[in-house]
Amino acid sequence: MKQTLKRAWTVTLGNPQLKIGLVLLCILLLVALFAPVIAPYDPYFMSDELVEAPSALHPLGTDGLGRDILSMLIFGTRTSLVVGVTAAFIAGIIGTLIGGVAGYFGGKVDAVLGELINVFMMMPTFFLVLIVVALFGSGLFNVMVVMGLTSWVSNAKLMRAQAMSLRQRTFVRSAEAIGEGRLLILFRHVVPNGIFPIIANTTMGIASAILTESSLAFLGLGDPNVISWGQVIQSGKSYLTNGWWICLFGGLAIIYTVVTFYLIGDGLNRVLSPKLRNLGKEG
């Protein structure tokens, strides 16, 4: 166990993208965890100071309802992380299952699931999310589930390719030869050995989910009872000329988080992919 942790620490220190991303993520997690302590005001409190510019009392200003922007952004960190991680986790599970079954079983199963993957690839995902949220409501749970159910395609393609390669390996053939069930082989040998690209891709999927949730909130289709960064920007679009700080700081928070998860995803991809790892050493 100690050797594994030591090796993981060494690999992390040797990859600048992953190292920077993890530091930025730690800051995000601390902000989300200690939001009630860090936030100077209740994010729902409406003061008489409407659209006030950044000052000593309100470091990032207030919005059109007198709410403190800094407090809203701090509490919005929780919403973004929960939505991003949950949606990406759902997409990772679905993509792994569909891609693993298609790639390992092959034949007609692969043909049917391959067509399913192609159908979802051709669908405009964001507009599909818009339709479903408009029909079934804009609650946070609905948003997370819908995003997870519509963003699994890239994971499925990666897992399918991994499974098609792994099913030809000696250890998989040996397991088949001694009579292990195909489903058992899939979940014991194929998925564990092919999951690494999915982990990296799912991490990047967190950033995409956060962007999608922010876009929905900006369009007024987010959960009105939950503070989110998209909601902050949506509240500031009417005050762009005299309250530019509302949209600016909300947008910077989204950019910070998206860059964080892309750095972690790219770092994990380089660490877990032998080709990219060797390329980095040569460079």
pLDDT in tens, 222-243: 777 888 888 888 888 888 888 8
* Rounded Cα distance, 227 and 77, in Å: 9
In angstroms, the CA 153 to CA 146 distance is 14
Question: H-helix or E-strand containing 220?
Answer: none
The reported pLDDT for the residue numbered 279 is 43
Say which residue, 130 or 20, is predicted with more confidence: 20
The predicted-structure confidence for 140-155, as pLDDT tens digits, reads as follows: 888 888 888 888 999 9
Cα–Cα nearest to 155, from 102, 84, 81 = 102
d(CA 249, CA 256): 10
pTM for the model stands at: 0.84
* Lookup: tokens for 174: 């040996």
pLDDT per position as a tens digit, 111-126: 999 888 888 888 777 7
What secondary structure does DSSP assign to 170-196, as a single string? HHHHHHHHTT--HHHHIIIIIHHHH-H
Tell me phi and psi for residue 68, to 5 degrees.
-75, 120
Other CB atoms within a 10 A radius of the CB of residue 187 amount to: 15
Cross-strand bridge partners of residue 62: 68
Domain chopping of the chain, boundaries? 17-31+68-282
pLDDT tens string 237-269: 888 888 888 889 989 999 999 999 998 888 887
At the topology level, CATH places domain 17-31+68-282 in MetI-like fold (1.10.3720)
